[in-house]
Chain A
């Protein structure tokens, strides 16, 4: 027994001592967990290693739920990765604490004018770019074109139109619309809808505005809309809503994304996998708003100050965005991973990607939102929020907004009461963090 123990401990010590290469290691954490995306990221890493001997790239793909926890654990241990994806509001929060380094070198290498304005707005503080979006897609209102045409439905301009359409499309077999019930997506939905209704979450003094008319109307709209959602929608995750759509259990999807096109092609009946059956409408606005609003799914790369090999990491990012690599990357989920550079968007190889050809209208709607500045990251109403409100990350994680929506939509509480309760909880949260006196 003792011999075995001794041998084991010796092995453990040996293994622990092994990774002491003279190599420079760049750790890269990303959130594109699809197997093909992961493979491409690893390949890009290997290509970079081939060009830069003495450098090792460790790529890891993580789901959202785990990423935040890992970033936190690594920061707590004083050993963050060199590069990581993150939500735009996470980037802002980290930058506010001085934990990030600027990526202006990479911006210069790509060409400042070459990057969409929408993208540059994310995590730009004091004229410096602290986060660089890896790809930008917007949320989409996907609908069954064949069914809508049959019912003679028109594109919804207002919320009332959307409710009417949902009602018209509801049958005993199929719900009118499907929306995800988990925390992240309810927050995304609320952000979109509030903006489309001309409202704000917090005023300039960081006071929550949940009891304002715009939010009440939004809550009541959600309650109405979810009447046409499948029973138990509150337990549906993001991926399940796609399943509902192509499994023909729901006729519309408020929070679809470009990757839906890939899922439809993979799992819907072959005859239906096209834009004649699944197309997108521009989102409607609310009674107190004027314009549509969509969420931009644009997670920035962040470069951590406390990491070891930040110079090499910058070189890696420049390499990542080079056409040969970047094109392969965005092609792993074509309609969803929208390139941040105008040059790649216009590039004929990109245009020729078969999926892009097939689902053109989906791309055009996304571009429309981006060009008209109607797309914003989660919980961001105005671009200012990104720098003036570094507490959005905690607001998202707290689930307070989601509980409010559930109170109204599931528990049948009056919107005013639910909003008042959530307002109180938010005030307590902000006070404890020192953002509110």
Chain B
């Protein structure tokens, strides 16, 4: 009985989560005259690849995809490069102001992002970073850093400091200890943090919209939004764009979910 209930529950969960994607995929393969029919039909009668073809011929979708990967990837690297040492310092060292640093981090999230857009643009302009991917990476890093610091901090806190102390007593330097003792244990947490950072950078719309001007620099959210707003709303093409955004993500996720679940758990958000 219990098994049956669980199965029903999981099925419902999967349906709720996945059905919109399934609908998106079937629409991507429908010709235009099958899209605007009432009543709607689940499966295409004639499968067409024309929507996909149009997506790649008429738009710069491939470029947008590449840009998103580059920008999000660079953001993850930069964020981790700053957050790992930072979180380490916040948990392993005693220094004045340690606690207030943490509070400040949380506070920066409470100011609505849309309001800092204009001063941010002005700042980027002064640095000559408008309309560059570098500027966008900096923006995303700044946005992700507080959350990354907090996450990593909780992971590091859960790892007993005795492990490192033992290693250092055995003569290892602090740097060696971090590399060989701490990071391997904290890896799930680092991966989880990196993944959340990637998602935040991957999904952003407003910073990319304001900071980027050239079409060939656009990231996916902006590119797809433009396709949607274009004068002739090509649902088939838009849905194929959405579908293509999914496929790599699915692959990455099946691989990473193991780390994510472990990472959150070992992130010692314990009572």
How would residues 57 to 84 of chain A score, 1 for a CB under 8 Å from any chain B CB and 0 otherwise? Answer: 0111111011001101100111101000
How would residues 52 to 78 of chain B score, 1 for a CB under 8 Å from any chain A CB and 0 otherwise? Answer: 001000110000000000000010011
Query: If A27-B213, A70-B210, A247-B36 touch, does A34 touch B118 (CB 8 Å cutoff)?
Result: no
Kindly list the 6 A-B residue pairs having the minimum CB-CB distance in the complex, ordered from nearest.
Answer: A5-B81, A63-B229, A77-B125, A35-B58, A12-B134, A33-B230
Chain A binding site: helix, strand, loop or mixed by DSSP? helix
Query: If A36-B58, A61-B226, A267-B32 touch, does A69 touch B81 (CB 8 Å cutoff)?
Result: no
B209 with A16: CB separation less than 8 A: no
Q: Which of A164-172, A258-266, A302-310, A344-352 contacts B (4 or more CB under 8 A)?
A: A258-266
8 A Cβ contacts from A228-274 to B: 239, 243, 246-247, 259, 262-263, 266-267, 269
Asked whether A412 is an interface residue with its Cβ less than 8 Å from the other chain, the reply is no
Asked whether B42 is an interface residue with its Cβ less than 8 Å from the other chain, the reply is no
How would residues 74 to 97 of chain B score, 1 for a CB under 8 Å from any chain A CB and 0 otherwise? Answer: 100110111011000000000000
B231 with A60: CB separation less than 8 A: no
8 A Cβ contacts from B102-143 to A: 117-118, 121-122, 125, 127-135, 137-138
Closest CB in chain B relative to A244 CB, distance in Å: 10
Contacts of A404 in B (CB 8 A): none
How would residues 203 to 235 of chain B score, 1 for a CB under 8 Å from any chain A CB and 0 otherwise? Answer: 000000110011100000000011101111100
Q: Which single member of B117, B138, B227 contacts A73 (CB below 8 Å)?
A: B117
How would residues 16 to 33 of chain A score, 1 for a CB under 8 Å from any chain B CB and 0 otherwise? Answer: 100100000001010011
B85 with A16: CB separation less than 8 A: no
Q: In the assembly, what is the distance between CA of A263 and CA of B231, in Å?
A: 9
Asked whether B38 is an interface residue with its Cβ less than 8 Å from the other chain, the reply is yes
Asked whether B170 is an interface residue with its Cβ less than 8 Å from the other chain, the reply is no
How would residues 79 to 105 of chain A score, 1 for a CB under 8 Å from any chain B CB and 0 otherwise? Answer: 101000000000000000000000000
Q: In the assembly, what is the distance between CA of A73 and CA of B211, in Å?
A: 9
How many residues of A are counted as interface, with CB atoms below 8 angstroms from the partner's CB atoms?
51
Q: In the assembly, what is the distance between CA of A72 and CA of B33, in Å?
A: 40
A16 with B74: CB separation less than 8 A: no
B213 with A5: CB separation less than 8 A: no
- Minimum CB distance partner of A246 in chain B: B36
Contacts of B229 in A (CB 8 A): 33, 63, 65
11 contacts between A and B (CB under 8 A): A1-B84, A27-B213, A35-B58, A35-B59, A35-B230, A37-B231, A59-B215, A70-B209, A70-B210, A267-B32, A267-B36
Asked whether A333 is an interface residue with its Cβ less than 8 Å from the other chain, the reply is yes
A8 with B232: CB separation less than 8 A: no
A4 with B125: CB separation less than 8 A: no
Contacts of B38 in A (CB 8 A): 247
A267 with B33: CB separation less than 8 A: yes
8 A Cβ contacts from A30-55 to B: 32-39, 42
